[in-house]
A = this chain, B = another copy of it.
Amino acid sequence: MSEKTINTADAARTGGPGRTNDPDGVRRNILDVALREFADKGYSGARVDEIAAKTATSKRMIYYYFKDKEGLFVAVLEEAYAGIRRIEQTLDLEGLAPADALRRLTEFTFDYQNANPDFVRLVMVENIHNATHLEHSERIQGLNVSVIETLEAVYRRGVAEGTFREGIDVIDLHMTISALSFFNVSNRATFSRIFKRDMATPEALARRRAVVADTVVSFALSPSR
């Protein structure tokens, strides 16, 4: 509960916490802890004091680097979005057949979100707050074009080939992928409680992952096939 979290990398570099000369490390450390706290308790529920306590630095440094609680939240949000987009771009879909590429992209999204529940929960929190922070962040606005471009390229190839049916809105498709991946994390608590089903076991995840991928692909496939 009161464990301090230090990036091992930083600790190694500087010889431990305390007066370090690694401002970036300090920033990172704060962001890491804050992500977890915000994701865990929501914006208002998260306590600056507690974030500070779990950090290798002091509360004062949070204000030094991020101005206030809101500034910290925005920074956390930016990092989180940057994270998924960064990895997304390492996906190499061009060598795959369109249907396989679509499946691969869907699986990636599903896996990423399940592996990063804090990201998902942070987005939930931001939605509860009507995306006001996101609105003010120019950085995030720019980040998200790439997904659509990637998906669009795959879809076009599929249509050209005759694999995919025409008339699908790519943003719609992305929405379906996101929705099915997101829900598995975002609503896990209520859903599994109500339907008495553990959604986080490796088996459950594998099964659901397949269902999601099937759903997406079968929606895109041309009916003639």
Q: Check if B123 sits within 8 Å of A187, measured CB to CB.
A: yes
A72 → B minimal CB distance (Å): 16
- Chain B residues lying within 8 Å of A172, measured Cβ to Cβ, are 207-208, 211
A53 → B minimal CB distance (Å): 15
Can you report 5 residue pairs joining A to B where beta carbons are below 8 Å apart? A44-B45, A127-B187, A128-B128, A141-B194, A144-B194
Of A5-13, A99-107, A174-182, which binds chain B?
A174-182
Interface size grouping (class) on chain A = 35 or more
| Contact residue among B140, B176, B184, B197 (Cβ-Cβ distance under 8 Å from A215) | B176
Of A14-22, A90-98, A130-138, A155-163, which binds chain B?
A130-138
Interface presence of A186 (CB below 8 A):
yes
Residues of A within 8 A of B (CB): 41-45, 121, 123-131, 134-135, 140-141, 144, 148, 169, 171-172, 174-176, 178-180, 182-184, 186-191, 193-195, 197, 207-208, 211, 214-215, 218-219
A127-B41 contact given A179-B180, A180-B176, A194-B144, CB 8 Å threshold: no
Q: Check if B171 sits within 8 Å of A197, measured CB to CB.
A: yes
A40 → B minimal CB distance (Å): 8
Q: Bound complex: CA of A190 vs CA of B28, how far in Å?
A: 24
Q: Check if A131 sits within 8 Å of B189, measured CB to CB.
A: yes
Q: Check if A126 sits within 8 Å of B42, measured CB to CB.
A: no
- Chain B residues lying within 8 Å of A141, measured Cβ to Cβ, are 193-194
